Amino acid sequence: MPKHPAYPRLEELFRKLSILGDTTSVLQWDMATMMPDGGAAARGEQRALLKAMAHGLLTAPEVPDLLDQAASETLDPWQSANLREMRRDWTHAAAVPAALVEALAVAEAACETVWREARPAADFARVRPRLDALLALVRETAAAKAEALGVSAYDALLDQYEPMGRAADIAPVFDALAAALPPLIDAVLAAQATRPAPLVPAGPFPVAAQKAMGIELMTALGFDFRHGRLDVSCHPFCGGTPEDVRITTRYDEDDFASGLMGVLHETGHALYDFGLPGGRWRHQPVGRARGMVMHESQSLLMEMQACRSQPFVAWAAPKLKAAFAGQGPAWEADNLHRLGLVVKRDFIRVSADEVTYPAHVIVRTRLEQALIAGSLSTADLPAAWNDGYRQVLGIVPPDDRLGCLQDIHWYCGAWGYFPTYTLGAMTAAQLFAAACAQVPGILPGVGAGDFRPLLGWLKEKIHGHGSVLSTAELVADATGRPLDPAVFTAHIRQRYLG
């Protein structure tokens, strides 16, 4: 008897895997926003079981045969790309034993829970035992995947977030940036010093007013509240599912900008999720976002490129003034625009300006590479972090809350993620420049609070392609050239030194 076609069976398998992943994502959102601390152990067990179930389905004995059989079947271009992504997922999963998958999930939940206590207390010692246990499992996972993929341990972790991302390609870019940043930062600060300092609006800024303003700006950008919500978490993020996107921020009653820029950043992520292919491809690998470089480019395109532009700030200024009952010249559009472009050497990555932002990422990337390689121990992490900041930014954090405890990534198991931020910033600059050149109505639209022209271009060029194309292909097709770091530095020079 002829065999049943393999490809449709694979599509059904990956539909189930996608739904399990969606469930895990919502549980993760709940853990970060609503769950009482006492639920951490149970939540770790729940997530571990779901991940083990997904791992078992993906690594079932018949899956490699189905993948091989499907490769000889007649497939259209989207199906062929979907099969490619299926095999990539299988390769990652099959390299890791089920027991390790489950142990890693439990360790991630346990470490993240303790980190939430340790960060506000600036108490790295409290979380270090959990981090050591988690790091050991991350290294074990990386080694197994490295052997299956034929890459280094760090590249195996990076590949989880950026398909085909390799440290050897990133290193020269980051090394060049690390050398160029100190004089560039000095030049921007010197130019800034020649101009009158912008006025800082006086607070306090009630959280309720900040949230209401955030919702208004999210709506202008195109966020659909029928399919998403805004909440508070210790570290801003975007999660949930494309039909139910959950974004979070954190608020400071003395500084409304930090919470609002977090909202705009995470809304960029959400808009990418909303714009992904639906229908048949919704639960297929080819319908997913094309890695975290592209995802970070979408958040930074909104936050840094569009929403710090003069036209957008001119539109938003009266709304901000009304929302916070502001009075005086501090609330004028020109002042708020200049305030949004203030550059300073500071400790917190998520609130960093776009000039110094790459320095934050370079420090983290170098540290996590050393931690994975074993050339740096967690005992020496705080000192190494401080040394990195001294070298690249010329400042030293006063405590670990502003140092190695500030980001959630390592404490929730997201190793290999950090390089995607700066690669995403470069991609954002190149995409936004191309979009504005190709569609003259984009900047006027942004200046009227109408993001439809920009979203239309992004949907056509990026979002709607899912994972059919590689990151490099998406950038080249959308902008007419490969990713060029010089576009980013030119943007910085034009905006801050022009």
* Residue 134 located in a structural domain: yes
Instruction: Let me know whether 302 and 203 are in one domain.
Output: yes
Instruction: Let me know whether 228 and 340 are in one domain.
Output: yes
What does the alpha-carbon distance between residue 271 and residue 126 come to, in Å, rounded to a whole number? 37
pTM (2 decimals)?
0.91
Number of domains comprising the chain: 2
Q: What is the pLDDT of residues 324-346, one digit of tens each?
A: 999 999 999 999 999 999 999 99
Answer whether residue 449 shows pLDDT above 90. Answer: yes
**DSSP at 286:** G
Contact 246, 240 (CB under 8 A): yes
**How high does pLDDT run on average in the chain?**
95
Phi first, then psi, for residue 67 (nearest 5°) are -60, -45
What does the alpha-carbon distance between residue 404 and residue 406 come to, in Å, rounded to a whole number? 6
| pLDDT at res. 3 | 67
Instruction: Let me know whether 177 and 33 are in one domain.
Output: no
Nearest CA among 470, 462, 465 for reference residue 169: 470
Task: State the average pLDDT over residues 287-313.
Answer: 96
CA distances from 497 to 248, 303, 328, 486, 490 (A): 33, 20, 28, 15, 10
| pLDDT at res. 498 | 80
Q: What is the pLDDT of residues 390-421, one digit of tens each?
A: 998 999 999 999 999 999 999 999 999 999 99
Instruction: Let me know whether 212 and 258 are in one domain.
Output: yes
* Residue 450 located in a structural domain: yes
Instruction: Let me know whether 80 and 220 are in one domain.
Output: no
Instruction: Let me know whether 240 and 317 are in one domain.
Output: yes
* Residue 161 located in a structural domain: no
Instruction: Let me know whether 267 and 376 are in one domain.
Output: yes
Query: CB under 8 Å to 225, separation ≥6 — which residues?
Result: 215, 218, 219
* Residue 164 located in a structural domain: no
Answer whether residue 1 shows pLDDT above 80. Answer: no
* Residue 158 located in a structural domain: no
Place of tokens 């500030």: 406
* Residue 387 located in a structural domain: yes
| pLDDT at res. 350 | 83
Q: What percent of the chain has pLDDT over 90?
A: 91
Instruction: Let me know whether 257 and 313 are in one domain.
Output: yes
Instruction: Let me know whether 62 and 200 are in one domain.
Output: no
* Residue 1 located in a structural domain: no
Task: State the average pLDDT over residues 252-275.
Answer: 96
What does the alpha-carbon distance between residue 179 and residue 415 come to, in Å, rounded to a whole number? 25
Task: Residue 331: give the domain boundaries.
Answer: 169-497
**Domain endpoint, select from 90, 124, 152:** 152
Amino acid at 111: C
What does the alpha-carbon distance between residue 276 and residue 321 come to, in Å, rounded to a whole number? 35
Instruction: Let me know whether 174 and 69 are in one domain.
Output: no
Q: What is the pLDDT of residues 172-209, one digit of tens each?
A: 989 888 888 889 999 999 999 999 999 999 989 999 99
Instruction: Let me know whether 148 and 243 are in one domain.
Output: no
- List, by residue number, the catalytic residues: 266
Q: What is the pLDDT of residues 24-47, one digit of tens each?
A: 999 999 999 999 989 988 998 998
**Domain endpoint, select from 123, 152, 181:** 152
Q: What is the pLDDT of residues 55-110, one digit of tens each?
A: 999 999 999 999 999 999 999 999 999 999 999 999 999 999 989 998 998 999 89
Q: Indicate which CATH number applies to the domain containing 328.
A: 1.10.1370.30
Task: State the average pLDDT over residues 150-161.
Answer: 96
Instruction: Let me know whether 365 and 441 are in one domain.
Output: yes
* Residue 162 located in a structural domain: no
Give the DSSP H or E segment for 221: helix 207-221
